[in-house]
């Protein structure tokens, strides 16, 4: 996960996840499942999404949010959304 975002962005994501999930950062392993392992419900996932949108000034669609199952998925989604758009040359 550390190679997907900058150190500052990684720290911000961990802060959001620990706050919204009410867990210790040591529980946020890449394979930890948000619902099954960290007890997130649909409201918690929306709150995480809103916090990420605010912090990173982006928009996460409902379809994108539905694909997020693990902590690693959060980082992968953000890495995809934060990539600069590519243009044909």
- The catalytic residues are 41
User: Residue 70 gets which letter from DSSP?
Assistant: B
Torsion of CA 49, 54, 57, 58, to 10 degrees: 20
Which residues sit opposite 25 in a β-bridge? none
Q: Tokens 């890449």 correspond to what residue? A: 30
Q: Tokens 């867990």 correspond to what residue? A: 23
């Amino acid at each position: 996960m550390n190679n997907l975002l900058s150190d500052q962005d990684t720290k911000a994501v961990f802060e959001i996840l620990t706050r919204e999930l009410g867990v210790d950062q040591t529980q946020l392993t890449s394979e930890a499942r948000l619902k099954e392992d960290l007890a997130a419900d649909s409201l918690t996932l929306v709150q995480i999404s809103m916090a990420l949108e605010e912090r990173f000034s982006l928009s996460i669609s409902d379809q994108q949010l539905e694909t997020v199952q693990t902590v690693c998925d959060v980082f992968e989604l953000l890495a995809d959304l934060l990539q600069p758009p590519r243009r044909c040359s």
